[in-house]
Amino acid sequence: MKNTLYCGDNLDILRKHIKDESVDLIYIDPPFFSNRHYEVVWGDEAEIRSFEDRWEGGINVYVDWMKQRIIELHRVLKSTGSFYLHCDWHAGHYLKVMCDEVFGYSNFRNEIVWCYSIGGKSSKTFGRKHDTIFWYTKGRTWIFNADAPSIRIQRKPDSHMRVVVDESGTTWQEKTDAKTKKVYRYPLDKVADDYWTNIEQLNREDAERLGYPTQKPEALLKRIVEASSNKGDIVLDSFCGCGTTMVVAERLKRRWIGIDISPSAIALVKKRLNKVGVKEKDIDIIGMPTKVDDLRAFKPFEFQYWAINEMHGTPSPRKVGDLGIDGLSFLHHCPIQVKQSESVGRNVVDNFQTAIRRYYKSHKSELKGYIVAFSFTKGAHEEIARIKREGIIINLVTVQDILDRKFQTQQLADQLI
C-alpha cells in the first residue's frame, strides 16, 4: 500500500477506509480537554488560524467523543499491535478508565511520564512539567524492541567497577571477583524507565519547530515507533497535526497513515514530508477539497491558508492588522488578498489598491497583486482596467481557477515577470 494522508473526521475515515486488524502501531495526541483558545502561527510562522480546544458539555462529552474513536482504533489494530495515547492532567485519569474498558485492564502496559522543563511556571502551585502517555497492547504478545538505540539509555557507572570498551565498540562495566579472579561484565546502558527525562519540549528556536501549538519533538516519537514496530510495519496517527509521526515513521522505514480534519494540517504535513524526500506522487492524499462547494464551509483562516498555499504563496504572519494583505506570491512576493465571498466588487479592488501602494513604498518594483474570491462583479473588472492605466496590475483569481490549477507556480511566475 501507498503511504496515505486523509483529510476529514477521523471517526468517519476509520470506519470507511481502515480495515480490521491492519495496523501495527497507533500513536495519537488528541486535543486535550484544556478549555484553551489558541491563536496559532503555523508553517514556519506563516499560517495563522484559530485553533479551538474546547468541549462544550463537559468532561463526559469529551470522553464519549474520544471513546467512539478509540473503539475504532482498537478494531483496526493488529492482535500484536500497540496503542499509545498522549494526554495531560486535564482528562488523563478519565481516559485511562475508558481505555481500560476498550482494551481491557490486563492489556495496559505502561503509564509513561514524559518530563520536560520548558513552559510557564507558577508561584501558587508546583510547576506542571509532564505529560502522560498510556501504552496498551491488543493481545498478550506484542512487539517491543528493547535493543533499539532510542530505547537504551546510558546509566552511570558503578564506582566500584571498571568501564571498558570491547572490540566491537560496545561499552561495558566490569568487575573481578576477589576470590575466583573471574571477570564479570554488565552493560552500561539499560532499557528506559517509564519516566522520560532526556527528551525536551521544543523551544522557540528549535529547528524542528513549525509553530503548531501541540507539536511534539521527533525524539519522543522515535522512541515510541522504534520500540513498538519493525521496518515495513504500518504506523497510524489519527490526529496527525503537523505530521511528526509521519516524518519519524518515514525515516525509520515504516509505512504510515495520517488523518487530520484540517486541510491546512494536511498541506503542512505534505510540505514537511517533501523536505525529508517524500514526493507527492508517492503519497495517496484523500479528502482534500476538490469542489467550490467544499470550500464554502471552511473557517475563514482555513480558507485563506488553502488559497494561498494552492497558489504556492506565503501566508502573512499576521492574522489581523495586515493592511489587507493576506499573503505574498511565489517568487516575486506580490501581495495577495483572499475574500471568502461571492460577487466581490469595486470597493474591494479600491481598498486593495491602497494596500498595494502602501506595501510597495518599501519595495522598488512595479505595483502588482492578486485578489482571490468565489466570483467578481462587472464593476470589479472595470476598476481593474482603470487602475491598470495608472500602472497598477491586479489579477482577479476565482476559486475555480485555483481548483483548475490555472495558477500553478510557473503560470504565476510568467504573469509576474
**Model confidence over 225-279: pLDDT tens digits?**
999 999 999 999 999 999 999 999 999 999 999 999 888 889 889 999 999 999 9
Is pLDDT at 42 greater than 60 in this prediction?
no
Q: Give the pLDDT confidence score for residue 178 in this predicted structure.
A: 85
Provide the mean pLDDT of the chain: 87
Instruction: Give the sign of the dihedral formed by CA 130, CA 136, CA 141, CA 143.
Output: negative
Parse the chain into domains and list their residue ranges: 3-146+193-286, 152-191, 292-416
Q: Give the pLDDT confidence score for residue 40 in this predicted structure.
A: 54
User: How many Cα atoms occupy the beta-carbon half-sphere of 124 within 13 Å?
Assistant: 0
Q: Give the pLDDT confidence score for residue 48 in this predicted structure.
A: 45
Q: Is the domain covering 3-146+193-286 a CATH 2.40.50.140 domain?
A: no
**Model confidence over 299-325: pLDDT tens digits?**
888 888 889 888 888 887 655 455 689
CATH, domain 292-416, list 1.20.80.10, 3.40.718.10, 3.40.50.80, 3.40.1350.10: 3.40.1350.10
Burial of residue 223, with CB atoms counted within 10 A of its CB: 0-12 exposed, 13-18 middle, 19 or more buried: buried
Q: Give the pLDDT confidence score for residue 36 in this predicted structure.
A: 62
